[in-house]
Amino acid sequence: MKLEKQHKDYIEWLNELKDKIGKAQIKAAISVNSELIKLYWEIGKELFDKQDWGNAVVETLSKDLKTEFPAMKGFSRRNLFYMKSFYLFYKTDFEKVQQLVAQIPWGHNIKIFSKLDNIEKAIFYLKETIENNWSRDILDMQIENNLYARQGKVITNFSNSLPKPKSDLANKSYT
């Protein structure tokens, strides 16, 4: 009897520890992503500030950064140009969006700033991506289907007839 209770207590304790570890891993990943996004913003700004050096400097910079940081990904020529585009898209509103862009992966950010034409739309898609945990493909589909423009256009009774998470999902799918 005592062993059975001990085993039950152990399983409960183990599950609590696994939950704490999982939460810590998520916090660590978000923190790393946040720092990476800030770094990409700064590199984009530097590239913008040095644009009079010409585009050839990006190729050289890419090679030099890859050599110096071989274990790090993200320094391809194309990604450096994305960093510059990222900076240009958000340069006047970065403080406003910094927390949002830091919560989603870089690939999601690229979709948003390369496919949208204003900050208001970007903020909408950033928030929706975070709230709904969209994959990059779902985000892309929602942008392509112009969810931003359709939001709130259709009247349904989903909110009254379905439980909260399902009604939200149904409303988003239906609009």
User: Using CA atoms, how far apart are residues 7 and 116, in angstroms rounded to an integer?
Assistant: 55
Banded pLDDT at 41 (limits 50, 70, 90): very high
Closest to 41 in 3D by CA, of 82, 70, 76, 71: 82
What are the domain boundaries of the chain? Answer: 2-144
Residue 18: what pLDDT? 96
**pLDDT confidence of 2, banded at 50, 70, 90?**
confident
CB-based contact 43:69 (threshold 8 Å): no
Read off the amino acid at residue 141: M
> What's the longest Cα–Cα distance across the chain?
78
pLDDT tens column, 49-103: 999 999 999 999 999 999 999 999 999 999 999 999 999 999 999 989 999 999 9
Q: pLDDT above 70 covers what percent of the chain?
A: 87
Tokens 């892309």, located at residue: 140
